[in-house]
Structure 1
Amino acid sequence: MVDVVTLGTFGVAALASLFMAWAIGAGSSGSTPFAPAVGANAISVMRAGFIVGLLGFLGAVLQGQNVSNAIGTELIVGQSLTAMAAVIGLLTAAGLVAIGVFTGYPIATAFTVTGAIVGVGLALGGDPAWAKYQQIVTLWVLVPFVGGGIAYATARALRSERVAERVAIPILGGIVGALVATIQFALLGGPDGPRSIAQVVGAELPLPVVGGVDAGPVVATLLLGCLAGGALAYDMSRGEAQSQRRFLLALGGLVAFSAGGSQVGLAIGPLVPLLDEVTVPLIALLVGGGVGLLAGSWTGAPRMIKALAQDYSSLGPRRSIAALIPSFAIAQAAVALGVPVSFNEIIVSAIVGSGYAAGGAGVSRQKMLYTVLAWIGSLALALGVSYGLFVGVTALI
């Protein structure tokens, strides 16, 4: 039977986690997915905040397990987080993220949470998980170059007079459809773990194994990509402007869903080591974290949506599409790998990359410099503050 003290400390940690989820929903997962769509005048700020909250909740419940486990169990070696450590780490990170929300500067949530949890973990006496840090830092460093580069190349292609939009947009839609086909969903899985739409459909196709690769999922992925591209081509034939708008909103929805799957782990991950003590299933945490993200999106996201949509780059529909496609792909890669990643970093890099495709028009270099400094500073500050707070609190107790 769980004692009262354990339940009490877990309850305090859960409240800190809920506050963290709200801060993330208001500042990262709630603002970044639809910022390019808002910048392109495809959707209003308030409607974007409402929709992204619902999609983020679904992503949190259906895809949040990998990153949650990584935050809770893989950042420190040889020491499990305690309830007190979780509370201090979450409050430190949430406080810094909330400051970013109210000042209009997007603090990189993954940097802040990772720094805070590593700080309290080291203060507990744990050892650094160097292999995991290498994986995380590699992704963080690659994001601006890969995301910005793909966004730049895509925007340039869409602006080129040699490639008609009625051809280019359906091709991009086919690529996105193929990516969607490879997303792993827990609801589609079984005893062997989650499965993708391509795996489920491919299992029904009577195709052989070629070169050690099951041809079923590969063919299913290609078919689903062709269906998506074909549907978009048909829609483009009925009206290019409206079709672009619908494609842009669909991309925003996919990014919002991915944001929920990634960002919820930053909020509830520190509670994962405590689940065995209080006999609470992980799905309950995922639902609670999803509710926190939804509340943050509905109450605090509009300010950050405005900051990202208007302050970084003057976006049109084509550059917005170019920004969202790599953002969706990178987000899903991070979810699959179980690596915490900042959606502010992903989206801002893609927005800037697509903006430079038009010669840098509307890109605020000063704003970008301040943002990068805020990202680096938040990581170092979160680590130092959480370490110091934990040492101070345990000394007093």
Structure 2
Amino acid sequence: MGAFLISFVVAAVTGASSVSVSMAPAVGSNSITVLRGAFVVGAVGFVGAVAQGAAVTRGVGTEIVSGPVTFGMGTVALVVIGVFVGLGIYFEHSIPVAFSTFGAVAGVGFAAGYDPNLDYWTLTLGAWVASGVVAVVLAYGVTVALERLVPESPRVERWVDSAVLFAGVVFSFIGGGSQVGLAVGPLVGTVEDLGFGLLSLMAFGGLGITLGAWVKSPVMLQAVGRQYASLGQRTSLAVLVTAIPMVQVIANVLGVPISYNHIIINSIAGCGFAASGGGAGVDTRKYAGTLASWVATLFGSTLTAYALYRATMLV
């Protein structure tokens, strides 16, 4: 029961933080109010979780290591995920749930004597590295295209505002599907042993995303919305246009756990390079620090989960 509670909490935190970011540009431009934005994120995120969450959920639960993830292993993995998410909240630092989830499941698998599923690892690590580069390049290209091809006028700006709102709704749907598996994936083996299908597990995680979005995302939307407002609507649109197809393909088609922040931060970096004409608009030190924290999260969660599960085996 404790494992399901932790899973629900992680889903709620994901809904309040990662998935809610989808509507932040629209809130920042006053295209939608904070409360309506939070409602849309929760409702659309749930639909996305149920409709598209199977790929990442099954990938996390069955593909990372060579053997089945038992209830005990899944519980330890979720405890580690919860700890890393909690540390991120406490220190007010964004911890990518995708990296902590992958690392935690890998750690308990190694502790149980399993081998890494090399095909899935190659696909995942390749997608993480390639997506960062592609996000920078694609966002750069979209930003330049918007500046050169879309004229500035009040009417056009209204169209841009509408496009940002529509993109936010689409991204919320995609986000529900891509993020739910990070919270419930470690329990795939458990629910199948109990005779429940994957759909019920995704609906359970989707409810967590909805609750988190409705209860806590208004604060996140206000804070992040102000940041996007400072970027400008065209930059916000460029970020969303870059992120939507990448998250959809990597997570919901290939089944690879991917961090929203990983895609969005690299997209913003690409927009910064385009705006400055050579990278002067990008804080490279902060950017490098963020990348380093992601790597530390991956290795830290793996080692922590390994040590914790080995300790439980000795009891």
Q: Distance in 2 between matches of 1:27 and 1:367?
A: 20
Deviations 1:26-56 (A, max 9, x none): 23223x3123334445444444333212211
Shift, 1:301, TM fit: 3.1
Q: Distance in 1 between matches of 2:6 and 2:73?
A: 11
Shift, 1:371, TM fit: 2.1
Could you say if the C-alpha distance between residues 242 and 24 of structure 1 is closer, same or farther in structure 2, counting changes exceeding 3 Å?
same
Could you say if the C-alpha distance between residues 26 and 86 of structure 1 is closer, same or farther in structure 2, counting changes exceeding 3 Å?
same
Q: Distance in 2 between matches of 1:304 and 1:366?
A: 24
Could you say if the C-alpha distance between residues 98 and 303 of structure 1 is closer, same or farther in structure 2, counting changes exceeding 3 Å?
farther
Could you say if the C-alpha distance between residues 353 and 241 of structure 1 is closer, same or farther in structure 2, counting changes exceeding 3 Å?
same
Instruction: Work out whether 1:299 is the aligned partner of 2:299.
Output: no
Partner of 2:16 in structure 1? 26
The one of 167, 186, 189 aligned to 1:273: 189
Q: Which amino acid aligns with 2:115?
A: D
Q: Which amino acid aligns with 1:256?
A: S
Kept in 1: contact 2:25–2:229 (CA 8 A): no
Instruction: Work out whether 1:86 is the aligned partner of 2:91.
Output: no
Could you say if the C-alpha distance between residues 91 and 264 of structure 1 is closer, same or farther in structure 2, counting changes exceeding 3 Å?
same
| Identical-pair percentage | 35
Shift, 1:158, TM fit: 1.3
Kept in 1: contact 2:99–2:297 (CA 8 A): yes
Instruction: Work out whether 1:343 is the aligned partner of 2:251.
Output: no
Q: Distance in 1 between matches of 2:34 and 2:292?
A: 27
Partner of 2:239 in structure 1? 323
SS of the counterpart of 1:257? Answer: helix
Gaps of 5+ in 2: none
Instruction: Work out whether 1:12 is the aligned partner of 2:2.
Output: yes
The one of 124, 148, 165 aligned to 2:112: 124
Shift, 1:296, TM fit: 1.7
How many residue pairs are counted as aligned between the two chains? 312
Shift, 1:81, TM fit: 0.9
Partner of 1:37 in structure 2? 26
Moved more, 357-366 or 369-378: 357-366
Q: Distance in 1 between matches of 2:172 and 2:296?
A: 26
Q: Which amino acid aligns with 1:296?
A: G
Shift, 1:354, TM fit: 1.6
Q: Which amino acid aligns with 2:274?
A: A
Could you say if the C-alpha distance between residues 66 and 304 of structure 1 is closer, same or farther in structure 2, counting changes exceeding 3 Å?
same
Alignment of 1:211-226 (within 5 A): none
Shift, 1:344, TM fit: 1.0
Q: Which amino acid aligns with 1:257?
A: F
Q: Distance in 2 between matches of 1:105 and 1:86?
A: 25
Partner of 1:109 in structure 2? 97
Q: Whose strand fraction is larger, Structure 1's or Structure 2's?
A: 1
Kept in 1: contact 2:24–2:228 (CA 8 A): no
Kept in 1: contact 2:44–2:173 (CA 8 A): yes
SS of the counterpart of 2:69? Answer: coil
Partner of 1:210 in structure 2? none
Instruction: Work out whether 1:378 is the aligned partner of 2:297.
Output: yes
Q: Distance in 2 between matches of 1:375 and 1:309?
A: 23
Kept in 1: contact 2:192–2:198 (CA 8 A): no
Partner of 2:180 in structure 1? 264
The one of 115, 134, 155 aligned to 2:143: 155
Instruction: Work out whether 1:100 is the aligned partner of 2:88.
Output: yes
Q: Distance in 1 between matches of 2:274 and 2:92?
A: 25
- The structure that has the greater radius of gyration is 1
Partner of 1:209 in structure 2? none
Q: Distance in 2 between matches of 1:318 and 1:252?
A: 14
Q: Which amino acid aligns with 1:109?
A: V
SS of the counterpart of 2:199? Answer: helix
Could you say if the C-alpha distance between residues 245 and 311 of structure 1 is closer, same or farther in structure 2, counting changes exceeding 3 Å?
closer
The one of 63, 67, 90 aligned to 1:74: 63
Kept in 2: contact 1:70–1:339 (CA 8 A): yes
Q: Distance in 2 between matches of 1:48 and 1:377?
A: 33
Deviations 1:326-385 (A, max 9, x none): 100001102101111111111111122123321157644444333222211111111011
Q: Distance in 2 between matches of 1:53 and 1:363?
A: 32
Moved more, 258-267 or 272-281: 272-281
Q: Distance in 1 between matches of 2:24 and 2:156?
A: 21
Q: Which amino acid aligns with 2:292?
A: L
Q: Which amino acid aligns with 2:188?
A: V
Q: Distance in 2 between matches of 1:134 and 1:278?
A: 31
Q: Distance in 2 between matches of 1:386 and 1:127?
A: 15
